[in-house]
Amino acid sequence: MKFTEHIDPGNIKLGLEGQRKDEVIEELVELLVESCNVSDADTILDAVLSREREGSTGLEKGVAIPHAKSDAVNKLCIAIGISKDGVDFEALDGKSSHLFFLMIAPTNESGPHVQAIAKIVKMIKIDRFRSKLLKANQPQEVIDAIESAEIGEI
């Protein structure tokens, strides 16, 4: 599975405005409405927020991976958001999250969803990768950094 096949520049927001977890999730869901042929944004938002109540998806090193499954999509959909100020996402390390990878997968499909999470976890361990994302000025720079990380150039 190639991670970049599931994102395009329209699914990336470099200046997230949300200051709370629910606001960030809502912003990212809105990115997917048109680009991913989402049939019901409210259903997706509810699914992601429900998943967050089960346990925060805030990881370490300023990264969060909010995700859920929903019948409102027919393929894996990914939105990426970057917050310069950071948001309290109840991360494992107690620090603010700056990089957000929101994923929605169809309820009847688990392979790509799990593979995507594994790829993100692998990439975010690379300091240079996280730094490139935080410094990105254009969505294509985020995609380029992900492509480089996927082939081991970062």
Residues with a catalytic annotation lie at: 67
Q: Return the HEC string of 121-136.
A: HHHHCCHHHHHHHHHC
Provide, for the chain, the percentages of residues in helix, strand and coil under a 3-state DSSP scheme, each rounded to the nearest 5. Answer: 45, 20, 35
**Structure tokens, 100:** 């957000």
* Residue pair 81/100 in contact by the 8 Å Cβ criterion: yes
Strand partners, 68: 104
* Residue pair 97/87 in contact by the 8 Å Cβ criterion: yes
Exposure pattern of 134-145 as b/e (b: 16+ CB <10 Å)? eebeebebbbeb
